A and B are shown apart, each in its own frame.
Chain A
Amino acid sequence: MKVKEVMSKDIVSIKPDDNAREALELLMKMEISGLPVIDEKGKLVGMFTEKDILKNTLPSYIEKVGKFVYEENPKSIRRKLQHLSHMKVAQLMRKDVVTTTEDTTLCEVARIMLMEKARRIPVVDKITKLVVGIIARGDVLKALAKEAEIG
């Protein structure tokens, strides 16, 4: 099975200039972990994910401080979340996005997802580079499981 048989084609996307807070609300409303960011020309410029928002909210030095436990929420958390309404999607999105194409095999997509720790991968057209769909980890697993049952 190939990506084009599994991917969802009605892509909800956001623009780099969109307000970060509104984009987050959209994420929560849709109950998904990330959205592709596409500019006016239809080119994929980034992914806006829950993980990146959380990463921006918590202090950047937490990885380097070593073992500790937060017993309270630091004051900075609330401030940073409130500050989201003054930020643009472009400031928070991750810019190096892994993509795939319609003719890629599901196993290859699964491999990319594992290697790159990505949950949702945009599918782009080989020639025009425009986004034609998006494929989620759940879609891949579901399709693979279904295939195994038939076999």
Chain B
Amino acid sequence: MLKKFIILIAISLGLGFFSQKIGLNPHQAIAISIFSASVLGTLFFWDFRLGFVFIGITVLLLTRTIDLENVIKFASLDVILFLVGMMVLVGLLKEAGFFAWIVELILRIRNMTGRKFVVVISVISALLSTMTSEVVSIIFMVAAIFEICDYFEVDPVPYLIISVLATNIGSAATVLGNPIGILIASKAGLSFEDFIVKAFPLAVVCLVATILIVIVWYRKSIRELDTNIKKLGANEILIRLISVPPGKELKISLAVFGATLFFIALHHRLELLWNLEPNTILLTMPLLSSGCVMIWKWKRARDYIEKDVEWWTLLFFMLLFAQAGALKYTGATDVLAKNLAHLSGSSPPILIGIVLWVSCIGSSILDNVVLVAAFIPVIQSFQSLNLDLQPLWWALLFGGCLGGNITLVGSTANIIALGILEKEKNIRMTFFRWFWIGLTVGVVTTIIVWIALIILPFYH
């Protein structure tokens, strides 16, 4: 503990001194020091991360590295409120039985075969995470997978890994899948439509590639499942295992969620039509819907806000965004951007490669939000260098999501799924059992994205 703490202090101070040595001003050096302390804090002291950013932001303010007005501006309340609204809606869906209903549907698959199971869990994992966020969807997928594997007496680990891989890929497909999606959309001025047209198809290609890889990789496990299905017969008990009372509440909840998705999907058109600022409807739609929900279910409204909204994470995001903002405010990221552009000879393919692979490898170890928050001001600084930003935003999005597959701590979905595995089955995942398949899928999908971003003029 003490050793890690000393390493953290040494590295962040070292980075500060180093940046001053290479010509950055003291404020830029402090901003870099504090931000790196927060990054290392998430790496070494996950449970203390909120405490770290609270202290960090205080230091930035006391040293006049950034002023209060800019802290508030960079804290990106728009993104935070969007996430609050979505979390309330997802809480409502959960309470109404939507997710249990999805589990029920999966348990009812007729004429199950090993391959069919792999395809179904991959597609549903990806779709659920793209609509409701990876953190939520993985819990239900794991529940369904465990019940089915229990019933057919096979090892659930391969299927759990497959589901997590698909969840992380799906999370890149829309602004709803991952916090970095809405963060990038709001900072880059990208619309939901842009995501559907540009990110969604790319995520589908990545998902297909992943399904092909895992079918070959886990062929033995799939064969074993096939044998046991033949041996144990149809899934009669599974079909009846759980039920969700089809109440009015579930229907209304689905209608509210569906309407929210509908307006989010059309937000760009509506904003043009009503002459609103870009992304106004995208960011306010979840607030409008969750506002209605809290009036409809006023007795439960406090529970939605207090239990379903992850305040711990959101407060961490806010202050982290503000710290990343300090990097921009002091001009530290301009220097970094200039150096990066110089390093790549201002060649777009190389720059895309750098952003994609750095965010991919970085988010395999770090929380992808930390990484993306740091990268955003750098990419914004490229604008003054007259570079095409579009492919860089997509590179950042996909790098941040796909990198999460590489290691077992790469994304929140991985951590949640492995937590349940340990609790339920007493199985502790080893680093390498995850790493080889994760690395294969992570590298192959990132290469697919790299090629698409470079050769398709569509992304420029």
Which A residues form the contact surface with B (CB < 8 A)? 59-61, 64-72, 74-76, 79
Contacts and interface: CB of A to CB of B under 8 A. Distances in A.
Contacts of A76: 146-147, 150, 424
Interface in B243-271: 243-245
Interface size class of B (residues with CB under 8 A): 20 to 34
B99 A69 contact: no
A66 B243 contact: no
Nearest to A65: B100
Contacts of A59: 143, 146, 424
B424 A74 contact: no
Closest 10 CB pairs of A and B: A68-B100, A67-B97, A66-B94, A76-B150, A60-B423, A61-B143, A68-B242, A71-B240, A75-B150, A72-B241
B140 A65 contact: yes
Given A67-B100, A70-B241, A75-B151, 16 more contacts: A61-B420, A65-B94, A65-B140, A65-B143, A66-B93, A66-B95, A66-B100, A68-B103, A68-B104, A68-B242, A68-B243, A69-B245, A71-B240, A72-B237, A74-B241, A75-B150
Query: Which of A68, A71, A72, A74 is packed against the most chain B CB atoms within 10 Å?
Result: A68
DSSP class of B's interface residues: helix, strand, loop or mixed? helix
B84 to A, nearest CB: 19
B175 interface: no
A68 B240 CA distance: 12
B142 interface: yes
A118 to B, nearest CB: 23
Nearest to A77: B150
DSSP class of A's interface residues: helix, strand, loop or mixed? loop
Interface in B133-178: 139-140, 142-143, 146-147, 150-151
Interface string B87-99: 0000001111111
Interface in B205-253: 237, 240-245
Contacts of A70: 241-242
